[in-house]
Amino acid sequence: YPHVMEMSKEMERAISVLRKSMQNWDGVSTSEYSELKEEDLLIGYKSFSDRGLKLVPGDTWRWNRAADYEAVEIKDGVMARISKMNSRTKVSGVRAPRYKVWLYTIYKDDSRDPFFFIWCEKGSYVRLEQYAFLRCFVSDSLAKEFHWTK
C-alpha cells in the first residue's frame, strides 16, 4: 500500500478534505442520491452516505478512474479507499465536461459496514437562474436584474 509520503499533493488534499468533513459530520447520511447524475455534480459538492455512490456517465462521455488508493489511514481506527474519477469523452470530436470527483469508501474498526463520501472538486457551477424560485422574496428590480422575470 502507498505510504502518505508517496502520495501526490492532490491526494493529500483529498485526504485533508475528508478529514475536515468528518470533523464536522454528525454521523447522519447527507446524500439524497445513490446515483449521481451530471446535474448533481456541482463544484464543491460534498456528501456522506450509508449507501454506495454511483456516478452516472453522460451520453457522449464516461468516467475514468484516474487514481485509486486502497488503504489510506484517515485517523486511528479509520481507513479509506479513495478513487479519483475524471470525465473522458467516448465520442470522437465531442468534448467531455471537465469533472474531477473523489469517491471514498470508509471503514471504521468498530463497524462491519463501510460508509461513503463524495467530493466534487471540479464540476458544474450553480447558475443564478436555478434560484428563480426565490423570486417572491426579492424586490422587483432585483428580480429583473437576476433575469427572474418573464
| E runs forming strands in 46-127 | 46-49, 54-55, 61-75, 78-89, 100-108, 115-122
- Tens digits of residue pLDDT in 25-43: 877 676 666 788 787 788 8
The CA distance from 141 to 96, in Å, is 38
In terms of residue numbers, what domain contains 133? 4-145
Parallel, antiparallel, or unpaired: how do β-strands 61-75 and 54-55 relate? unpaired
Tell me how many domains the chain contains.
1
Can you tell me which residue has the cell 463544484? Answer: 43
- Beta-bridged to residue 47, according to DSSP, are 118
Residue 109 has a CB neighbour count (10 Å cut-off) of 8
Specify the pLDDT at position 101: 93
The confidence band for 107, taking pLDDT boundaries of 50, 70 and 90, is: very high
| Residue 90 is assigned to a structural domain of this protein | yes
Using DSSP's 3-state secondary structure scheme, residue 125 falls into: coil
| Residue 106 is assigned to a structural domain of this protein | yes
pTM: 0.76
| Residue 125 is assigned to a structural domain of this protein | yes
Mean pLDDT of 79-88: 91
| Residue 150 is assigned to a structural domain of this protein | no
